[in-house]
Amino acid sequence: MSIATAAASGASATERFQADKLLGVGETPPERVSELAGEVIAAIHETVRKHQVTYDEYNALKAWLIGVGQDGEWPLFLDVWIEHVVEEVANADRSGSKGTIEGPYYVPNAPKQGARARMPMRADEAGTPLLFQGQVTDLSGAPVPGAKIELWQADAAGFYSQFAPGIPEWNLRITAIADEEGRYWIETIQPAPYQIPTDGSCGKLIAAAGWHAWRPAHLHLKVSAPGRQLITTQLYFPGDPHNGDDIASAVKPELMLDVVEGEAGNVTTYDFVLDPA
Ligand code: MBD
Ligand code: FE
C-alpha cells in the first residue's frame, strides 16, 4: 500500500505550481527586484546581528533550506507562512466576500456539474454528509446567474486527491455552475482538519520550534463570473480546536460557517458577493 509522504505530496505540489502558475507572469523590473530582495536580505542580516547567530545555526539553516527544496515543500512553506499577507495586500480594496489563501492543493478544471451537484466521491466516502448551499450576488444584491463555483477539500482523513496516494483523481473536487438566480446546492462530506506532514522539512521546522502543525477543517473555493472579480477563499466549521490558531493564519470571522444538523446530515448556507471586475 502506498502511504502519504511529505516528499510525494511536495513533489506533486511543486509540479502543479510549475504547470499552472507561471504562465503569463511578466518580468519584474530590476529596480523592484533589487528593492524587495535587498530588503529581505537586509532583514536576515539584522536578525543575525540581533541574535548573534552562530556558524552552527547558519549551517542548520542551510541544511534546512536545501531540505525544503529536496522535499518539494517550497509551495507548502510559502503558502503556510507567507501567502496570507500577500492575500491581505491583494484583496484590501474589495467590498464583496472575504478572500483568504489558495494554498498548495488547487487543481484547475475539476469536473463540471450544474447547480444541484454532488462532489465526486468514493462509494464508501467517510465523513458526515454536508449539503453546502447558497447564492452568488453582486454588490447591489442582484443574483449572478451561472456563477462558477469551484470547490475542493480534504477528505475525512485530511488528505487531498492528486496530492496523496490512492485517492481517485477528482475526488472531492468540483466545478458547479449556479442557476439563473445564482443559487447552488453541493452535496459533500465534512473535511477533517489538515496536519502539515511531520516527515518533511516543514514538519521538522514545526517540531524544532515547538509549534503545532494544524490547520482547522476547511472548504476551499474559487467563485467567479464574467465581468466580476474571481474570489479565492476558504470556509471554516464552528468548534474546530484550531480555528483560533491556524498555522497558515488564514481564518477570518467572516469565513465561519453556520452548520445546521439535520436528519440526513448537516446543512450549511453561504452566500457570495462578487466585486465588479
Ligand atoms: C492546506 O490544506 C492548506 O489549505 C494550506 C493553505 C496549506 C497546507 C495545507
Ligand atoms: Fe487546504
Which residue, among 178, 179, 161, has the nearest Cα to 170 in the 3D structure? 161
Residue 159, pLDDT score: 97
Residue 1, pLDDT score: 45
- pTM value? 0.96
Q: Are strands 148-153 and 214-215 parallel, antiparallel or unpaired?
A: unpaired
Query: How many angstroms is it from 116 CA to the middle of ligand 1?
Result: 27
- 248 CA closest ligand 1 atom index: 6
- 234 CA closest ligand 1 atom index: 4
- The string of pLDDT tens digits covering residues 121-136 is 999 999 999 999 999 9
Task: State which of 77, 78, 101, 105 you would mutate to test the pocket of ligand 1, scoring each by most atoms of that ligand within 8 A of its C-beta.
Answer: 105
- Ligand 1: residues whose CB is within 6 Å? 76, 79-80, 101, 103-105, 194, 215, 248, 250
Residue 231, pLDDT score: 98
Which value, to the nearest 10 degrees, does the dihedral of the CA atoms of residues 151, 157, 161, 166 take? -160
Per-domain residue ranges of the chain: 1-277
* Owner of C-alpha cell 480594496: 93
- 101 CA closest ligand 1 atom index: 6
Query: How many angstroms is it from 168 CA to the middle of ligand 2?
Result: 17
- Quick check: 190 and 127 in contact, CB under 8 A? yes
Domain 1-277: give its CATH code. 2.60.130.10
Task: Using DSSP, state whether 216 is helix, strand or coil.
Answer: coil
* Neighbour count for residue 256 (Cβ, 10 Å): 17
Grid cell at residue 254: 467572516
* pLDDT tens digits in sequence order for the chain, 277 residues long: 467 888 888 999 999 999 998 877 789 999 999 999 999 999 999 999 999 999 999 999 999 999 999 999 999 999 999 999 999 999 999 999 999 999 999 999 999 999 999 999 999 999 999 999 999 999 999 999 999 999 999 999 999 999 999 999 999 999 999 999 999 999 999 999 999 999 999 999 999 999 999 999 999 999 999 999 999 999 999 999 999 999 999 999 999 999 999 888 999 999 999 999 9
Residue 95, pLDDT score: 97
